Amino acid sequence: MTADFSTRRHIGRPRLVDLLLLAFGLTALGWSALAASSARRDLETVRAAVQQFRASAGEEEKRLRELEDRRHDRTDPLARQAVQTLASPPPRILADLEPTVPAGARLEALTLTYGHEAVELELTLLARTPETYDDFVARVERSGLFGDLAFGSENRTGEMKVTLRARYRPEEGS
Amino acid sequence: MVAFDVGRVWGVLVRRGLAQARLVGAARETLPPGALKPSPHERNLLRPAEVRDAVHAVCAQLGLAEGQRADLILPAGIARPVLFDPPAGDTTPDSLRFRLANALPYAASEAVVGTIPVPPGRVLAAAARRSVVAEYEAIVEAAGCKPRRVELAPLVAFAGLLARPLPARALDVVLGEAAVSLARWEHTGLATFRTRLRTVSRDDLAWLAAEIERAAQTDGQTSFAAVRLAGAGACALADHARANGREALLAWDLAQPPSGMEPAEIAWLGGVLR
């Protein structure tokens, strides 16, 4: 086809190739719309999850702030106990206790009681010799992490099995 | 598609595929002398009833239903195409009208203009008078078809020829019954283009051969590689050229042309079947 010299306005009949291109274009458009819609749905899901996470994080933060406030509030022992639990978890106490046990001694039992003011420890130590036991006591005192030490009955002949009470004081440690 | 020339009306059915168009039907009706006379500014259809009957007969032979749309190809001689470089590639209708205005024998505002691109960067432009185009549209409508696109035979022919470039110093000659267009190729593409009216009374073949020699002249010397011919009288002119020692080619052919059709004798055929 060359230049159109027609004096009338007319809409040309589309050629097969035009129709094919149109069909291809419409298919591509439809596919793009579907992809865009799917992407939008994904985005909304992720946004909702982020929103939920933020809300949850906000609640946790609020709860922690409340606990912190209640920690300083001496009229709320329950809160202080909860804060103690958060601040001095058992693994941390065990980790602090471990360097105080010398070779030739071992912990037989350990009981932790989370009180309103501090964490109470009751431990049973088995020492091969009285010297080893003395070494343990010296290390415990040197660490400064344990206070209000109360020793049980001692039998200083050969192997010793002693029960000992103490308070965990991490803020005073060396 | 309905095509007009001085002595005949052609109707062709063309099926357009993805790569190429295919001729699926053709019909021809002869016009009585004086029924159609191509002119850029005067009435063309001097005996419209006879032209209408010929169009109607062609449509009937092709099995076209009443009101079926048809593209029109108007004959050489109603416009004089011009080859030029559009300034800054501007081929808007107003710019073309301004460029062609001086050569028009009527007001530029009455012109319908169009172009085909001629690589590299040139155009072949033509202007047809609106009232002349409307005559052909009206006659096709009167014959029962609905006119759609309107094209000019020389532009359609050159659209087909430009798709198959010739070497430098070769000539393309497009023969209409009323006018002939001659174009010379150079290394850069089409170099010159001109259109001459044909006159029935003179020795047509000798005159055409002389026009070809003139078109081939550059700097006063005739030198050309070959001539390619399409349109009314192409076969006879090719024989004449060969007899005079010139290499002559026919522009197009069909593997199985419809009966009564000599493809090279139809100037616009190659352009339609591109």
Q: List beta partners, residue A110.
A: A123
Q: Is the pLDDT of residue B96 over 90?
A: no
Per-residue model confidence as pLDDT tens digits over B5-17: 999 999 999 988 7
- Which of A110-114, B28-32, B100-104 has the highest average model confidence (pLDDT)? B28-32
Q: Looking at CA atoms only, how far is residue B260 from chain A in angstroms?
A: 25
Mean pLDDT across B93-120: 87
Record the tokens describing residue B116, joined without a space.
């085909």
Q: Is the pLDDT of residue B84 over 90?
A: no
Helix (H, G, I), strand (E, B), or coil: what is residue A102?
A: coil
Mean pLDDT across B100-121: 88
Mutation site for B-interface testing, chosen from A4, A5, A6 by largest number of B Cβ within 10 Å: A5
Considering CB atoms only, which of A2, A10, A12 is closest to B151? A2
State ipTM: 0.89
Backbone angles phi, psi at A136, to 5 degrees: -60, -50
Q: Does B126 touch chain A (CB under 8 A)?
A: yes
Domain range A88-172, CATH class: alpha beta
Per-residue model confidence as pLDDT tens digits over B239-255: 999 998 889 999 998 88
- Beta carbons of B18 and A17 less than 8 Å apart: yes
Decide the pairing of beta strands B227-231 and B248-250.
parallel
- Beta carbons of B151 and A5 less than 8 Å apart: yes
Helix (H, G, I), strand (E, B), or coil: what is residue B87?
A: helix
Task: Report chain A residues touching chain B, CB-CB < 8 A.
Answer: 1-8, 10, 12-13, 15-17, 20
Residues with Cβ within 8 Å of residue A109, at least 6 apart in sequence: A122, A123, A124
- Chain A residue numbers touching B72 (CB-CB < 8 A): 6
Residue of chain B with shortest Cα separation from A14: B16
- Beta carbons of A7 and B74 less than 8 Å apart: no
Per-residue model confidence as pLDDT tens digits over A22-58: 999 999 999 999 999 999 999 999 999 999 988 988 8
Domain range B163-272, CATH class: alpha beta
- Chain B residue numbers touching A1 (CB-CB < 8 A): 149, 151
Mutation site for A-interface testing, chosen from B150, B158, B162 by largest number of A Cβ within 10 Å: B150
| Domain boundaries along the sequence of chain B | 163-272
Q: Looking at CA atoms only, how far is residue A40 from chain B in angstroms?
A: 38
Q: Does B163 touch chain A (CB under 8 A)?
A: no
Mean pLDDT across A157-164: 86
Considering CB atoms only, which of B112, B148, B155 is closest to A2? B155
- Beta carbons of B159 and A2 less than 8 Å apart: yes
Distance from C-alpha of B18 to C-alpha of B24, rounded to nearest angstrom: 16
Q: Looking at CA atoms only, how far is residue A31 from chain B in angstroms?
A: 25
Per-residue model confidence as pLDDT tens digits over A82-112: 777 777 888 888 888 888 999 889 988 999 9
